[in-house]
Amino acid sequence: MLPTGEIPLLVRTLDEQDLKLITRLTDRLEHLSADSTYSHRASGLRGSLLRYIELLEAGERFGGEDQDRLDELIENGYAILELAAMEIGKSR
pLDDT of 9 above 80:
no
From the number of C-beta atoms within 10 Å of its C-beta (0-12, 13-18, 19+), residue 9 rates as: exposed
For residue 92, what pLDDT band results from cuts at 50, 70 and 90? low
Residue 7 DSSP code: P
In angstroms, the CA 85 to CA 80 distance is 8
Q: Do 2 and 8 form a contact (C-beta atoms < 8 A)?
A: yes
Phi, psi of 54 (to 5 degrees): -60, -45
pTM attached to this predicted model: 0.77
Domain residue extents for the chain = 11-87
Residue-wise pLDDT for 19-75, tens only, equals 899 999 999 999 998 888 899 999 999 999 999 999 888 888 878 898 899 999 999
In angstroms, the CA 45 to CA 30 distance is 10
